[in-house]
Structure 1
């Protein structure tokens, strides 16, 4: 270390030497030194920013050197201006070769610093290693510059401050690297402010290192040396020249960096424009694919199909018959619900590939959404279209491996033909869709062609929907018919079942089977069930006024309403808080509605019974119910479906089934009602087998409440009194809602 001009206080002679005072410093030169350090840091950061955007290796090397000169000049000038600002107690001069050597050391450290600043994605270890090397280079520049001092006094350093100055240099280097990396990831509107702040911090850090090193300096002279403050010859002039030259270099670097960056920006803009022009065709193709093709199957989507179908129709307008086939995967929702949507997507891709394998290259294939596909194929006649559709159905039934299972899926197909079923794409698609729905109604996995009856049926369904909505809104045309339910022990009516009818202005009296599906399919079932409950509530009051106090009413409930969550609240709202009224209502729900989601059904039935309303299971035996589920359901009444009663007198097996059902229901503490009783022999058998209640045409057809009360005015009359002559044929509409 002593050969490098670095000596520590512990090495100084113990006698005959004295430590001199540090002297003082010119404050204006110190301010100038700080400004030079900040300006050098600012220029360096700006050049580093520009350096990152350069792509040509030659330009990068040139700006690397320019930036290194800027940083080295700033740091070096700051150091020597600060040294010139010092007024020492002894005369001091500087060795020119050593001074120039310190500038080379500064330049080498600056080259390393800019190389590290210009890189992206440095690891923490790489940053620390680079900061250590750069900090040692800055410290080497500082202490090599101090070694250029010539005086009769000998330079010594405090060990602790010497080490601290090196640590400050390393920390300043690390801060510079982090600031440069942070600025490169900053937002454009704030980047200039970040650069200015970073330059202030860097300049302050470099200056701090210098003055820490100066604080470690001690001048040791022989005792008796005459001391007084000395200025370096022409120190201010020399300092201003050094600062001025360095400042000019820095300004030049900034202006050159700004100008060259503008040129590079223009160059990049031109390259970007050329790249955009080159990519325009591929981008347009990608956009068209995204707009007109299904991303899952790579088939045409609905928009692309409509465009291609119109063009295809124009092209083949005079070349024969076109078959438009609507295909729908049967029970696709079950696959999604059981195996997951990923398995469902895979199945749709397999279906698409099978369609492409069967059809010809010029046939149109599209996925219109969900599990719906559409095919347009040129055919010779109707038989050719049917043959093609049957081949599609057969090919689709080949097993598919999904989620470690081998599934066989089926499809339903609806077909419309051009030109007999329509001449426009919209019309042909609509007619094929109508044929598809008919195919599903016929049992699925079938092919159905469009015919005019389907169109008429669809028009009628639409008209019925509009008329039903009007009837519900205006409370016009809907009416409750009633059929008595007779208690076998007493022979008296135990309750009345309310059955809705619709007196349509064009089609006459309609049964529920005709309009309930319309209401369920079009979101009107809530309004319809609420109307029934309100009307039943009003009829209860009318029964009371007629002398039938306490006679209950049974009301049917749609499966869709039972699947929801709002039915108990609606019952409570319609019937109010009078528990006596609620206890006279029995809600009938079908067996299939209960077994769709057993846990939800149990919860709903418990909430309904909590309102005071009784619950009956209707059409028992038609839904393949599980006895394990049945014992869990909170039910009050079980109604045996009419299909078990019709042949009761002639089928011993049927009688055994009915007897078992009655015994099971009694074991579960439920009352039993037999539906569809039409003769005395059925009545005798049911009484003998212990059935509790019966209803059917044997006791009368359903009729309006006023008419029923007019024929049977007394509540206490036996069931024979409830047998009246058969009404007009329009009333013989069955007893099932």
Structure 2
């Protein structure tokens, strides 16, 4: 027996390492998408990655065999060769499946590394078993045999560990991915060449050693087929991924309609080939309430059903896009004003038809803003802005309608944007808001017993901005929470300061907002302001409106009860102006009702006088205090006093005034029983946006 000594072609050895590394890199790119995918897409990426990885491992082995020369004729068993590839792909699949779960620890990575390494080793030794050399037997060195398997497992573990790090924050870093691919290439090549070091070839026919016959044609064929498969799968996956990403980028996932990004592309086409057209901005009116009451799943189905109704209108001249939660945009090429308005009316009619969703019959409407091209804008930004402004005007006008853009809308929109920005700065830097106080007069004792805090905005450039203008903006944007904190803190301080100055003890009432109750910080805010000012809690009153109560009655009641436990009082503002206050009055934990100024201003009408008397009687029966707002005339005072309402607020007894004026007012009226009117007349607004007089 003669021991054969083979030689390596260094160039082919390097080629085998390059194949292993590149195939690993391609597989890592595919597997990196697995954890973001769901369903069949997830299985597709795992399978593709396993095929690429397995083919790369298999190709590396047989390219390594091409690099090894024994100067003996070689043949390969086809079944064993095919089995080695199946083992390689299968082990890659299992390892990737185990290590690409949502939650992955070192244990899973270790198991994955064990399976991957064992698969590489199994592929190698099955491939070696497929080799047939006439007159030659193979023997293995146990040390190198075990070492080859350990190398495969350990380096596979290191590579899979780095793969898991991509998901934790290194995804997209080329160098990190390349490092993991190199590690995996080292695992494959290290196992192969260590395994080759463990084998020795013994020839029983020395005369055959000089044979020049070389059967590498079969080996070249199968390696070429494997690499072709690897490239085909990689390129196919890349093509599918790009197509999928493009669809995700330019199609709305829920409705399948073109989205905001596709809108940008289509808009340019529209502007370049059309001389005129119309943009319709559509918003579903009741979407938020449906989401809140029936859940987001029903909300999504509503949007989907609505999108189909819009899509049914689409043609070559009309494109439909979904650009937000319940917002759609339509581009009507070549449409004039009459055609655009006709289209808007058709949309309103379609949306007005009932929606049948999960046993619910839903009736919704929509608001539509129309901008004409080129009259209302010559580019995408201006046309979008114009149609958006017109849509908000339609909402403000009562919803379920369309509005055509006009320049006045743009001016109001620009002013609103300016006020919103300036409001944020005013809250952040302070110094622009002032708290005024309007007295509440008790006709039984002839002096003021409390004040209502009303916020004023002294804008550095615009001067005094009407509360009716900035309060709604603060409500919509959430700025009202910070503004309410300022008013509450200042009111508590001032009320305590009047007492410390010897001017008497008074209550102070502060208006609240639905945003305050939604924020879940109202209780802590009130406690903080009371503790800071040292004002007794029973001297603070929070005013709520019917809209606050009906927004979430149970939650409002819970928070009011929490506040009443520490002594803070509550009042129902604008009572009688809504529809549900009467039915829920006995359920809401309040101490006072304030008669809406509408009834006071129309108290000359017999029916209104009857309502005033009824409200007073009802409040007395429920042991509630009654305050009348907006009192300006002596006849109104007489009527209210006779009806049993003794606490009166309005210009007749005092207009809203700053803290310094309050001190002068209290010095004049606070300790004397004078029934004199306070000077001035007009209309102001409080923090809740109501008029105060």
TM class, shorter-chain normalised? 0.5 to 0.7
1:347 aligns with 2:302: yes
1:683 to 631, 637, 642: 637
Moved more, 503-512 or 475-484: 503-512
Q: Which residue of 232, 238, 254 corresponds with 1:296? A: 254
Q: Is the 8 A contact 1:568 1:611 kept in 2?
A: no
Question: Per-residue deviation at 1:644?
Answer: 2.1
Distance, in Å, in 1 between the alignment partners of 2:112 and 2:419 is 69
- Asked whether the equivalents of residues 58 and 88 of structure 2 are also in contact (C-alpha less than 8 Å), the reply is no
Aligned length: 526
Q: Secondary structure at the match of 2:369?
A: strand
Structure 1 residue 731: Cα displacement: 7.1
| Structural mapping, 1:170-181, within 5 Å | none
Give distance in 1, aligned partners of 2:376 and 2:402: 16
> SS where residue 601 of structure 2 aligns?
coil
Report what 2:625 is aligned to. Answer: 671
TM-score (norm 2): 0.67
1:421 aligned counterpart, secondary structure: coil
Aligned partner of 2:119 in structure 1 is: 191
Aligned residue in 2 for 1:724: 678
Deviations 1:499-541 (A, max 9, x none): 1112233433333222112222333212211211222133224
Q: Distance in 1 between matches of 2:478 and 2:377?
A: 31
Shift in Å at residue 326 of structure 1? 0.7
8 Å Cα contact 1:490/1:718 also seen in 2: yes
State the secondary structure of the residue aligned to 1:612. coil
User: Counterpart in 1 of 2:331?
Assistant: 376
Deviations 1:340-369 (A, max 9, x none): 333333322222222222232232211112
**2:467–2:685 Cα contact (<8 Å) kept:** no
- Summarize deviations over 1:430-463 as a string: whole Å, max 9, x none: 1111111111111111111112111111211122
- Mapping of residues 134-213 of structure 1, within 5 Å: 187-192=115-120
1:287 aligns with 2:241: no
Matched-pair contact (CA < 8 Å) for 1:589–1:616? yes
Change (3 A) 1:186 1:453: same
TM-score under structure 1 length normalisation: 0.64
Map residues 577-726 of structure 1 onto 2, 5 A cutoff.
Answer: 580-627=535-582, 629-652=584-607, 654-712=608-666, 713-721=668-676, 723-726=677-680
Deviation at 1:386, TM superposition (A): 1.0
Gaps of at least 5 residues in structure 1 are: 1-45, 55-60, 69-113, 122-182, 204-242, 249-255
2:95 equivalent in structure 1: none
Partner of 1:401: 356
- Tell me, in whole angstroms, the C-alpha distance in 1 between the residues paired with 2:396 and 2:466: 20
SS of residue matched to 1:369: coil
Q: Secondary structure at the match of 2:577?
A: coil
CA shift for structure 1 position 579: 6.0
Q: CA 1:709 to 1:336, structure 2 compared with 1: closer, same or farther past 3 Å?
A: closer
Query: 1:283 and 1:502, CA in 2 relative to 1: closer, same or farther beyond 3 A?
Result: closer
Q: CA deviation at 1:276?
A: 5.2
Structure 2, unmatched stretches of 5+, are 1-53, 63-75, 92-110, 127-139, 146-200, 207-213
1:587 is paired with a residue of what secondary structure?
strand
Q: Does 1:267 align with 2:229?
A: no
Aligned residue number for residue 364 of structure 1: 319
Seen in structure 2, the aligned counterparts of structure 1 residues 443 and 703 have a Cα distance that, compared at 3 Å, is same
Most deviating of 710-719 and 611-620: 710-719
Q: Determine the C-alpha separation between the residues in 2 that align with 1:731 and 1:392.
A: 40
Q: Deviations over 1:65-96 (max 9, x none)?
A: 8999xxxxxxxxxxxxxxxxxxxxxxxxxxxx
Please report how far the alpha carbon of residue 717 of structure 1 lies from its aligned counterpart in structure 2 after TM superposition.
Answer: 1.9
Alignment partner of 2:529 out of 546, 549, 574: 574
1:331: which partner in 2? 286
3-state SS, counterpart of residue 414 of structure 1: strand
CA gap 1:190/1:282 in 2 versus in 1, 3 angstroms: closer
Cα drift, residue 735 of structure 1: 5.0
Q: 1:377 to 1:494 in 2, by over 3 A?
A: same
Q: Give, in whole Å, the separation in 1 of the partners of 2:81 and 2:448.
A: 109
Equivalent pair of 2:478/2:515 in contact (CA under 8 Å): no
Match of 2:462 among 507, 522, 543: 507
Instruction: Name 1:306's counterpart in structure 2.
Output: 264
Q: Could you tell me which residue of structure 2 aligns to residue 73 of structure 1? A: none
- Residue 446 of structure 1 corresponds to which residue in structure 2? 401
Q: CA deviation at 1:282?
A: 5.7
1:374 CA drift (Å):
0.7
Give the Å deviation of 1:327. 0.8
What does residue 736 of structure 1 align with?
692
| C-alpha RMSD of matched pairs (Å) | 4.0
Contact in 1 for aligned 2:572/2:592 (Cα 8 Å): yes
Q: Deviations over 1:532-555 (max 9, x none)?
A: 122213322442254322112112
State the alpha-carbon separation in 2 of the partners of residues 736 and 439 from structure 1. Answer: 28
Distance in 2 of aligned mates of 1:526 and 1:340: 26
Asked whether the equivalents of residues 483 and 735 of structure 1 are also in contact (C-alpha less than 8 Å), the reply is no
Cα deviation, residue 188, structure 1: 2.8
Identify the range of structure 1 (510-519 vs 438-447) with the bigger mean alpha-carbon deviation. Answer: 510-519
Provide the secondary structure at the position in 2 that maps to 1:374: strand
Alignment CA distance shift 1:293-1:65 (3 Å) = closer
CA separation in 2, counterparts of 1:705 and 1:277?
76
- What SS does the corresponding residue of 1:480 show, helix, strand or coil? strand
